[in-house]
Amino acid sequence: MPKELFVFPCPCCGKQIELDVRTGHARALRPEDNQGGTSLDSLLKKQQKESDRLGGLFEQAKDGHGKQKQRLDDLLERAKDDAKQNQDEKLRRPWDLD
């Protein structure tokens, strides 16, 4: 006669799980061990704090990117102005210096 009741450890939490093949029901053998978790309110507060922290980091990164873009634009404009002023000079190449 085939076995109708299987007991095995849960891969996530390690608790013993009892599976009845005939009915298809599964249950933990010691469900009272599951008590003592964190409440939903505390999880939501932690999530909100983490969201605020990540939002602040994102804003800092966005501001830094904007400042870098402005700095690079200023350098490009300065280089264009220098190129216009020094149109008469011949460009020097490293291999021509020998």
pLDDT along the chain (98 residues), means of 10: 75 81 80 61 91 94 92 94 80 69
Helices (H), 5-39: none
Alpha-carbon distance 90 to 57, whole Å? 47
CA triple 55-58-60, angle to 5 deg: 110
pTM score above 0.95: no
- Contact present, 7 and 18 (Cβ < 8 Å): yes
pLDDT at 98: 58
- Contact present, 19 and 6 (Cβ < 8 Å): yes
Domain boundaries, the chain: 5-30, 39-83
Q: Which residue has the tokens 């010691």?
A: 30
What the block records as the tokens of 32 is: 């009272």
Alpha-carbon distance 9 to 16, whole Å? 4
